[in-house]
Amino acid sequence: MPTTLAGGRAARRQTMRRIRPRRSPVVPLLLAVWAGAAGVLWLWWRGTPAISDDAGRIMGAGRITGLLAGYLMALVVLQMARVPALERRVGSDRVARWHAMTGRYTLCLVLAHIFLIMWGYALRSGRGLGGLAAQTADSVNELPDLGKAAAGAGLLLLIGLLSAGPVRRRLPYDLWYHVHLLTYAAVFLTFWHQLSTGNDFAVEPLAKTVWYALYGSVTWLVLWYRVLTPLRLNLRHRMRVEAVIEETPGIVSVLIGGRRLHRMGAEAGQFLRWRFLAPGMRFSSHPYSLSAAPRPGLLRITVKAIGDHSARLRELTPGTRVWAEGPYGALTARRRSRGKVLLVAGGVGITPMRALFETLPGASGDLTLLYRANSTHDLALWDELAAIADARGARLMYAVNGPDGVRPDISAESLARKIPDVDRHDVFLCGPPGFARSVYEALRGAGVPARRIHHESFAM
């Protein structure tokens, strides 16, 4: 029996929020990152003497790749820290892509650093390139903290290999997630040799202080936002499963009760990472979007069974304790810049769109929701969407496959025909990656500027 949540007082307050588009912080952040990289280059240049032989040039290249790798490692961890300023202003999907890209660059620099430094040592000792393996073994055994650094580099290589697209897609999510957490151990193991064997820090005490400050700040952010903040949130709100309700075949809603849940700072369009303390699920943490605006004592997620974890949600029993982290995501009303809004949902992507449909400010006729599904039986939460549309004077449309399986036409021409002023709308988009790409292209073809198409994707 599907559940229906009527609009609550908190949802109505959210609806009355004024439209205040914010400037993107991306450019200032990138400038700060490049300024840090420039500082690393300056440190290397300042500490590099005149070089007259091949070994010196190779070791100089090894030093700069090592310094840049150390700098990027701090950024990799920062991007894992779930800092609200990044998660809500930049967007969780963009931060995740930055993390993946920075991780690839870091691994390449680490491997280049190891090869170049060991090659330079081999030339200095008269062994040449052929003695690289022996030189590496001797260095690991003799130089301070290099054994730990080698273990850390091995962990980074393992994480990089498991994060490669073809491998990542074949791994269970929980396995990949927990292996990925080894990044913290890898960074810890590689940190110490940077200071004990790095000439740049030995001759420049201020640089060592700055390096300690960089890594210390990042460590504190991780502890605060990944450990202490979730602990405070869960002790304060004490969440438990209230009910599990089947919405359509394969899609269930989980109602989660707790204390003062509307004060946890969650907004329509956001998601949390959920851990259900039930047998077989205690060590699994998965991101699911809110499918309704937060109520004072109730949150709701709506999930399609597409994996082991999501399939087991239907087995949850009332009273099961819930551990959550978040809220995360920037697909909120804060992104809105125009009076009119088009919401486009594909499949279970309806969950954040349903919450936004309920709460986005707008007069009668300002809001339109387009819902794509395989059939009318797959239109989860349809009764709620219809009730919201009637109450708000909004437009509700669906696009399903025909009786012969023919997919509906969602093109620039069809969008412009059904919504003549679509180019004057803000568009919020959520759905599977292929669907999102095709709709994005259709919207651009219909004249919607890219800056007004708001989408978060976690396909990596």
**Tell me: the pLDDT tens digits for 344-396?**
999 889 999 999 999 998 888 899 999 999 888 889 899 999 999 999 999 99
Would you state the pLDDT for residue 9?
Answer: 45
Is 301 in contact with 351 (CB distance < 8 Å)? Answer: yes
Residue ranges of the chain whose pLDDT lies below 70: 1-25, 457-460
- State the Cα–Cα distance between residues 231 and 224, nearest whole angstrom: 10
Tokens of 409: 């036409």
Among candidates 250, 273, 211, 232, which has minimal Cα distance to 82? Answer: 273
Residue showing tokens 């009910």: 243
Would you state the pLDDT for residue 272?
Answer: 93
Would you state the pLDDT for residue 167?
Answer: 87
Give the type of residue at 420: P
Tokens of 116: 């170049």
Residue showing tokens 């396909």: 459
CATH numeric code, 238-328: 2.40.30.10
Would you state the pLDDT for residue 132?
Answer: 86
- State the Cα–Cα distance between residues 11 and 147, nearest whole angstrom: 56
Tokens of 200: 């740049």
Would you state the pLDDT for residue 13?
Answer: 53
| Other residues' Cβ atoms within 10 Å of the Cβ of residue 102 | 19
Is 387 in contact with 304 (CB distance < 8 Å)? Answer: no
| Other residues' Cβ atoms within 10 Å of the Cβ of residue 280 | 11
Would you state the pLDDT for residue 213?
Answer: 95
| Other residues' Cβ atoms within 10 Å of the Cβ of residue 341 | 25
Would you state the pLDDT for residue 23?
Answer: 58
Is 293 in contact with 11 (CB distance < 8 Å)? Answer: yes
Burial class (CB in 10 A: 0-12, 13-18, 19+), 45: exposed
Task: Please list, in sequence order, all residues whose beta carbon lies within 8 angstroms of the beta carbon of residue 223, skipping any fewer than 6 positions away.
Answer: none
Among candidates 349, 370, 233, 360, which has minimal Cα distance to 291? Answer: 349
Would you state the pLDDT for residue 160?
Answer: 92
Task: Please list, in sequence order, all residues whose beta carbon lies within 8 angstroms of the beta carbon of residue 418, skipping any fewer than 6 positions away.
Answer: 397
Is 105 in contact with 156 (CB distance < 8 Å)? Answer: no
| Other residues' Cβ atoms within 10 Å of the Cβ of residue 150 | 18
Is 230 in contact with 88 (CB distance < 8 Å)? Answer: no
Strand-by-strand arrangement of the 298-304 sheet: 240-248, 251-257, 298-304
Would you state the pLDDT for residue 460?
Answer: 41
Q: Looking at the domain covering 333-455, what would its CATH class be? A: alpha beta
Is 360 in contact with 386 (CB distance < 8 Å)? Answer: no
E-state strands within 374-450: 395-400, 426-430
- State the Cα–Cα distance between residues 325 and 68, nearest whole angstrom: 32
Please state whether the predicted TM-score (pTM) of the whole model is above 0.85.
Answer: no
